[in-house]
């Protein structure tokens, strides 16, 4: 029994010595490594996407992070489709921050309108080529060359060149806020049009898509002559309803009193 144990000890000792001899000088083993230099990690795809989104909106990465934080709070519940610039401007913490965001939004909006105008010109040309005998909903020849469908928020409109003047039932214009798939909104707009009232319509949730407003106006059979004459204007809301801050839901018919919007 003792001879067997002694033999096993000798075998194990021999194997250990052989292992030590097999390790070449300078060979790195787990026990010989004290520290390892870490290789910098590449930004994740989510970080890349956030940085790109910030650049698309003319924002810094920090401003984009704040926008995402705002949309995870009450603002995102009340206005889930609010664009980053309007969200940041509305929730600005200082006057300088509010002024900065406003300047960024003006520049971005100018670029967007220029793109809309370029596409509108291409669209009008395509319509003339494909349907030369059929006028579009808004006649290109009777629309000022630098006026997109999504006109700026305004309290009045100048009749367009070449349009037949039409009587107005009331001297003051109204601002009407509506949304798609809203029968009550549709009926209110038809009632206002039938009364001869001049108004500026703002559709919520269009995401800048002119075709959606055109299709909606066509479905309601809004008189194209009134649109061409500026008696009725069709506009994207672009966060304006939220910025006015009045309670209630749409349809909302507003009039201006001493520069302040009041609900009818």
Question: Could you give the residue range(s) of every CATH 3.40.30 domain in the chain?
Answer: 148-263
Say which residues have a Cβ less than 8 Å from residue 205's Cβ, sequence separation at least 6: 81, 179, 180, 237
Strand ranges (DSSP E) for the chain? 174-179, 199-204, 232-236, 252-257, 260-263
Bridge partners (DSSP) of residue 202 are 177, 235
Q: What CATH architecture does domain 148-263 belong to?
A: 3-Layer(aba) Sandwich (3.40)
Retrieve residue 121's tokens: 């010109």
Q: What's residue 118's pLDDT?
A: 83
- Per DSSP, the three-state class of 263 is strand
Q: What's residue 13's pLDDT?
A: 56
User: What are the distances in angstroms from CA 199 to CA 160, 192, 193, 233, 239?
Assistant: 15, 8, 8, 7, 18
Q: What's residue 59's pLDDT?
A: 93
**Sequential pLDDT tens for the chain (264 residues):** 545 555 555 555 555 545 444 444 444 444 443 443 444 445 556 677 778 888 889 999 999 999 999 999 998 888 888 889 989 999 999 999 999 999 998 898 888 878 877 887 887 788 789 878 765 543 333 444 444 443 333 333 333 333 333 333 344 789 999 988 889 999 999 999 999 889 999 999 888 888 888 899 999 999 998 888 889 999 988 888 877 777 788 899 998 877 677 888
């Amino acid at each position: 029994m003792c001879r067997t144990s002694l033999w096993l000890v000798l075998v194990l000792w021999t194997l250990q010595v052989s292992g030590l001899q097999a390790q070449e000088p300078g060979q790195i083993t787990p026990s010989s490594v004290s520290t390892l230099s870490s290789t910098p990690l590449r930004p994740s795809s989510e970080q890349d996407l956030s940085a790109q989104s910030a650049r698309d909106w003319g924002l810094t990465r920090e401003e984009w992070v704040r926008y995402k934080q705002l949309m995870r709070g009450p603002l995102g519940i009340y206005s889930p489709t609010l664009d980053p610039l309007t969200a940041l401007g509305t929730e600005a913490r200082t006057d300088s921050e509010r002024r900065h965001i406003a300047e960024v939004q003006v520049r971005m909006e100018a670029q967007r309108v220029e793109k809309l105008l370029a596409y509108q010109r291409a669209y009008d040309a395509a319509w003339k080529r494909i349907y030369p005998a059929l006028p579009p909903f808004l006649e290109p020849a009777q629309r000022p060359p630098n006026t997109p469908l999504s006109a700026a928020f305004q309290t009045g409109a100048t009749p367009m060149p070449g349009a037949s003047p039409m009587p107005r039932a009331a001297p003051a214009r109204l601002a009407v806020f509506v949304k798609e798939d809203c029968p009550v909104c549709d009926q209110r707009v038809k009632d206002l049009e039938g009364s001869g009232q001049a108004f500026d319509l703002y559709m919520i949730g269009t995401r800048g898509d002119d075709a959606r407003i055109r299709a909606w106006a066509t479905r309601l059979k809004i008189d194209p002559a009134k649109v061409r004459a500026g008696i009725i204007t069709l506009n994207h809301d672009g966060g304006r309803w939220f910025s006015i801050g009045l309670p209630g839901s749409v349809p909302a018919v507003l009039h201006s009193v001493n520069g302040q919007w009041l609900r009818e």
